[in-house]
Structure 1
Amino acid sequence: MKKSLMILLVCTLLTIISACANNNPGLVPSVPQYDYEYTTLEQLSENADNVIIGTVDSVEQADDLHSFFHIKDLKVLCGQDVDSVSIYGVVGLMEEGGRYCLFLYQNDSEFWPMPLTLFVDRESIFEIQSGKVIAPDRFGMTGMSEDELIDAATKLSMRENTVPTVTDELPYDKLIAESEAIFTATVKELSYSSPYSGGSAAVTVNKVFKGTAEKSPTGPAEENEIRMLVPQGLQVGETYLFFRTNGLAGMPTRNNSVISVESEEYAQIIEQIQ
């Protein structure tokens, strides 16, 4: 019994480690982490676009594991000016009505339905109660006054803006010109971990109009099948026209790089491709 329990625990741990190590660009990413825990505000600010103080006005469920934390009475201490912030983070990180100092960064991907504001480190959230700071022990800041925290934060340096530029939509001629590969394929397998990230799909390639749609090294065994990142909204069994860049790793636009072959848009654009 003990041996079986130990095997189960080891397998569970390996699964968690594997999930945490996934750097797939279609998934919601985390910023580069230090080999050790964050212990100073300077370490956090090196990966931040904003340092703010604000109150959690409301918490909205985003998916099974994440919430959107909507911040009001917001004050930017350092970094980019923003009027309002909705932060995508793990459920339970902050409480409605709580006041916090937060280190945030913005990120985006053509596979996501919209840009996201994320925590630099979800374990480095500074709560403020009655004018005093409640911080993780490793920062040695608990008991510091809010004014002292504000003074320290306003002197920090932020990271250079590295938010990727995502094109929402292109006219057909530019969409075709900027694509390295154009092909139709039918979705055989499809998995989404969140409605705010890309998914993983195994597709059967039907016809290639431009470039190549080669089988990926880790994809399915059949020669005409590939596995790739896809945006939200696809369905198993449906056939789509795909526009890809960077080999097959990227898309030229967020909104019109995948077109259903049953749509009027497909009938219009296919005339320009053939």
Structure 2
Amino acid sequence: MFIDSHCHIDFPELAEKIDALQDAMRANQVSHALCISVNLAGLPGVLDMAERFDNVFATVGVHPDYEDCEEPSVERLVALAKHPRVVGIGETGLDYYRLTGDLEWQRERFRVHIRAARQTGLPLIVHTRSSAEDTLRILEEEGAAEVGGVMHCFTENREVAAAAIALNFHISLSGIVTFKNAVELKEVARSIPLERMLIETDSPYLAPVPFRGKTNHPALVKHVAEHIADLRGVPLATIAEATTRNFIRLFKPPGLSQ
């Protein structure tokens, strides 16, 4: 079976057809999905998905792209993380691609999430774009290795992957790895230890080949796994078993065991 370790099925374009998406997941052996919080205003929708479906889990956090929104405190995140379906803190991190100017607020928000993760013992879901150096620095300064987590939708090089793994993080590969021009990322997929690999869709975005340009959804994570298996020259079952085992070990989701 496969697990989509990062999706946004609470977003309107997916939420309105959630029953069909569940059918597609079953048809493609995608057993579970982690629905990711991007801001506190949208958290009820994330939790609703996790409460309605026993194969969906949730996180709590505020994405670095959301500048004008309720700013989370450590205490607020810790309180929200007590929900029984919440298994991680994030999506958090840094993004110097979409936003410019003085981004110290983004770095402080990231630190808040790391501190909340350490208080709760839950792993971090980290977004980094054009900001790898600061992301790794802050993770180390704040002691994030204590809880570990995942570098989601990874697009960096082997050196950044190795540094993240050294900090007790997993590397999650999305549909981007199937893109023809993702040469460097394909090398990451070939080289990272299987015990540190996760797969995801980041749906509704980044549909893998041959669905590129269409609306992504959790069932398509199987195509990410198929491409990685081809790159590594291993059976598809090897990728399925490793990434499922890693997800369960990292997030300890209720009702799932290795």
Q: TM-score scaled by structure 2? A: 0.22
More helix by share: 2
Larger-Rg structure? 1
More strand by share: 1
Ranked by relative contact order (alpha carbons within 8 Å, sequence separation 6 or more), the top structure is 2
